A and B are shown apart, each in its own frame.
Chain A
Amino acid sequence: MLRYLASRLMQGAIVILLVSVGTFSMMHLIPGDPVDLMVGEAQITQEQLDLIRKKWGFDRPIHEQYLAWIGNMARGDFGQSVVRTGVPVRVMIGEAAVVTAKLNLLAFFISIALALPFGIAAAVRRYSGFDYAVMVSSTLGLALPNFWIGLMLIVLFSLLLGWLPPFGLPSWKGYVLPVAVIVANQTALLARMMRASTIEGIGEDYVRTARAKGLAEGVVVSRHVVRNALLPVITVIGYRIAFLLSGTIVIENVFALPGLGQLFIESVNRVDYQVVQAIVLLLSVLVVLGNLITDLVYGYVDPRIRIG
């Protein structure tokens, strides 16, 4: 286990390094220079331009800029917005992340609570009407683009019925529609996985053995089938948690929620590249850490993984 731990940690560190280099180089593909964008049409002398460049460090060689940036990021100093001058990027990200996290955590718990029982029940009663209904709705849940479901919910609940606000967060009601959309998608995916994994479990030899030794069907399912079938599903849940803050960019855009996705899109459109850089790096590092933790937990629970 220790060896496995060390090698996974090492891999994680390398990936984070590669991610940071990737992010930094991507941002430097932007044509034009952020100072020109900042200055815009303002009358300004070359001297002043140079001064601004110096202040932001754009006059230094590229590898020094990278090292300075990565050093600052590691210390939690995400820099300042080029557009909204004076506001630390960390504050902007912090405020937005709260909205996104609330939205996603809520949706996440609801979909787990729905998906696992539905998936198991569908698998146990395979080919029944219930199974059929679960499969059809999860097939639809995966095929319909979530932002379109969002638009249709706005038409139904805001425009026609007038029950819920279409955009923004005037009150807690603003969370209802976006959460519903995310739940629809996540539940479809998880229920399908849980069903497939349970069906696979039911076919295993040890299940036949358990039945042969006379265990009640309920005990066979809960102890022998579900416990093993949960493993791959929990892994997927772990990987999804890693994308918790980054999976709802389009949904936030549909409902105009002031979350991280919205901040990201706005910053991209305004070429506010300190903010974009910080968000991309932060989200990717979260994914690496999330996957790492999932792998370690999985390796701890299931010894077969460690040997690979």
Chain B
Amino acid sequence: MTQRETAIPEPYRRSEFSRAWRRFKRYRPGLFGMFFILALIVLATIPDLLSPHSHTQIFRGMRGAPPSWSHPLGFDHIGRDMLSRTIWGSRVALIVGLLATGISVVVGVAVGATSGYLGGRVDAALSRVVDTLMAFPILVLLITLSAVLGPSLVTVVVIIGLTGWAQYARVVRADVLSLREREYTLAARAAGAGDARIIFRHILPNVMGPVIVLASLGIGGIIILESALSFLGLGVQPPTASWGGMLSDGRAFILIYPQIAIAPGVMISLTVLAFNLLGDGLRDALDPRQKDASLDG
């Protein structure tokens, strides 16, 4: 028997937002995710004030030195303070995660809505473009593009953003296809609403829930992609601190200074976990259709 939750009586009309917030609050891991991400945003905004040392300052004679009171995470292979570099690394992760996802969502929703609403040849053509993008193994595509265009922070954001929209387009298209045939859409049309009004008032608001959920779940994946690119030397370039780049140093010196590889990996994992949990919470709050599958511990 599946457990049914008891409906909470709502004595007076609440706004859509406050009802969603009430649902979101009930999922504790989602709250944890949200607070972790807020803390990370603070770190990434003012790392110069919060980190004890400069992320590029080299302490002489301290190569790979283990943790101490004044340097709780120790030093990297050329004697830089690991804690400071780890804090600075949050900046790259968040910039890439948020901006690239933003680009993908905008392009994906536009393409998906156009494709689903217009149908016919436009849909067939756009769907082939989406298929093509999805056919390239994403990391293979990113590695090639990054090498060809020259790796940098901007390159990473742009190529991840412009290659990652296909999944949003696919979801939005499928949703629009079915929403287009719903009674309320037909009713709106019968009442004389134009295409633009139907798309923006009746269809897109219903699509945004799943898109927001997909985006918050997608940010984690993008942060992993970014760190993978930096790990391979094709992401953000040194001396800028990025967690992936630090892991790359960690790998090179893994048999001599294994502690280098620990902190950045923990931070990537926690960040990805936080975004995934936030996404689960948002799914409960915004996308009640999928609610059952995600109600868990």
Contact = CB atoms under 8 A, between A and B. Distances in A.
Interface of A: 11, 14-16, 18-19, 22, 26-27, 29-30, 126-127, 131-132, 135-136, 139-140, 142-145, 147-148, 151-152, 154-155, 158-159, 166, 196, 199-200, 202-203, 243, 246-247, 249-250, 253-254, 264-265, 268-269, 271, 276, 279-280, 283-285, 287-288, 291
Given A131-B296, A246-B137, A249-B139, A147 B231 contact: yes
B23 to A, nearest CB: 19
B177 to A, nearest CB: 9
Contacts of B97: none
Nearest to B273: A143
Contact of B247 (A148, A202, A279, A287): A148
A208 B119 CA distance: 38
Contact of B251 (A19, A27, A143, A254): A254
A15 B143 CA distance: 21
Contact of A18 (B132, B143, B262): B132
B293 interface: yes
Contacts of B273: 139-140, 143
A284 B135 contact: yes
A142 B132 CA distance: 26
Given A15-B135, A126-B2, A265 B143 contact: yes
B196 to A, nearest CB: 27
A152 B259 CA distance: 10
A145 B255 contact: no
A159 B258 contact: yes
Nearest to A239: B134
B146 to A, nearest CB: 9
Given A136-B297, A139-B276, 17 more contacts: A15-B135, A29-B148, A132-B296, A139-B277, A143-B272, A148-B264, A154-B254, A155-B254, A155-B261, A166-B254, A196-B294, A243-B137, A269-B233, A271-B147, A280-B140, A283-B140, A284-B136
Contact of A145 (B144, B228, B297): B228
Interface in B109-156: 127-129, 131-132, 134-137, 139-141, 143-145, 147-149
B232 interface: yes
A147 B140 contact: no
A283 to B, nearest CB: 5
Contacts of A291: 135
A203 B2 contact: yes
B220 interface: yes
Contacts of B101: none
Nearest to B125: A14
A291 to B, nearest CB: 7
B227 interface: yes
Contacts of B18: none
A16 B128 CA distance: 10
A199 B293 contact: yes
Contacts, number: 147
B224 interface: yes
B297 A132 contact: yes
A268 B143 contact: yes
B136 A22 contact: yes
Please give me the 10 A-B residue pairs with the lowest Cβ-Cβ distance, nearest first: A246-B137, A148-B265, A143-B273, A196-B293, A18-B132, A143-B272, A132-B297, A151-B261, A155-B258, A268-B147
A269 to B, nearest CB: 8
A22 B135 CA distance: 11
B250 A151 contact: yes
Contact of A27 (B143, B148, B233): B148
Nearest to A149: B265
Contacts of A199: 2, 292-293
A202 B2 contact: yes
Contacts of B293: 196, 199-200
B254 A249 contact: no
Contacts of B276: 139, 142-143
B148 A151 contact: no
B246 to A, nearest CB: 11
Contact of A151 (B128, B143, B145, B251): B251
A118 B279 CA distance: 24
B247 A250 contact: no
Contact of A287 (B137, B224, B292): B137
Contacts of B131: 11, 15, 288
B154 to A, nearest CB: 16
Interface in B274-297: 276-277, 292-294, 296-297
A123 to B, nearest CB: 9
B139 A151 contact: no
16 contacts: A11-B128, A11-B131, A15-B135, A18-B132, A27-B148, A144-B265, A144-B269, A145-B227, A148-B268, A159-B255, A199-B292, A268-B144, A269-B233, A280-B136, A283-B137, A288-B135
